[in-house]
Structure 1
Amino acid sequence: MNIILTVNGEARSVGAPETTSLLEVLRNHLGLMGTRYGCGLEQCGCCMVLVDEQPTYACTRELGTVAGRQVTTIEGLGMEARPHPLQQAFLDEQAGQCGYCLSGILISAKALLDRNPDPSRAEIVAALDKHLCRCGAHQRILRAVERAAATLRAQGTKGRRPA
């Protein structure tokens, strides 16, 4: 059975059982390797994607539940030649060390900035609370989100990448 969903703005047809995890579909069927497998139990946030603009654990989300919906992965956020302001802020703040957790963190930060363009430090901490980073870059991550928020506000684009 083929299931159709929109991934990073492109309609995709996936021939996989409805119970296949969204994470497996993204990585193994669609070749989108930026979304990571961490724990498989919704405990670390490495697999976070946006489903209809809401942060969602892809490791436990079944393909059948996203049929006809919009899925955004880290690959849909920005490109190397034109990174999203969040990605640029993370680079500028040197907010990642190993980088394994960052795709999920960036996705959750984007969702936060889309709904709140001027979050407090406490709101950023709460939005990223479901993510584990073992490298100890927590303060840099928080500064990067604050920097990105300021950049996006100055551009008048909220969490969306400027055209």
Structure 2
Amino acid sequence: MNDTILELDALGPLAEGVRLECKLAQGRHGQGQLPRDFWPTYSAFANTQGGVVLLGVREHDGRFSVAGIPEPERLLRELLDGLENPARVSVNLLGEDDLQLVRIDGKTLLRVRIPEAPAALKPVYLNGDVLNNTYRRVDSSDMRLTPDEVRTWLAATTTH
């Protein structure tokens, strides 16, 4: 993992979309916590084209600002623990280069680059339940697939 320093206005023109998601990641006590909705985004990016999640970013009226993460190491540990837990996610796709602490205006963000999963590892799913916890990215949304959609996907991949 490496650190990067950016200018404060570097976030302003960002727009969430098929390959970018921003999350506040402040937690209940404001010290930094992985948001629950991180995992559906992880599954969706992995099952679609990959993407980047910026943790520690606030969105207001379509504009982004740096909130920062007071305890980034704690957030990073929580993320790594989840990635190594097969009860949380079916596969860890991240390497060291996919995680980056970014410092902007004295605040720290965590940039998580989620690659698209190789076909042999798809679908990437959550909580040990491929039929009910598989997601795809559609525009700026993480869309949960229906069990029938997952069955169709699995059938198509096993016949090729």
The normalised TM-score by structure 1 is 0.28
**Of the two, which has the highest radius of gyration?**
2
| Structure number with higher helix proportion | 1
| Structure number with higher strand proportion | 2
| Larger RCO (alpha carbons 8 Å, 6+ apart) | 2
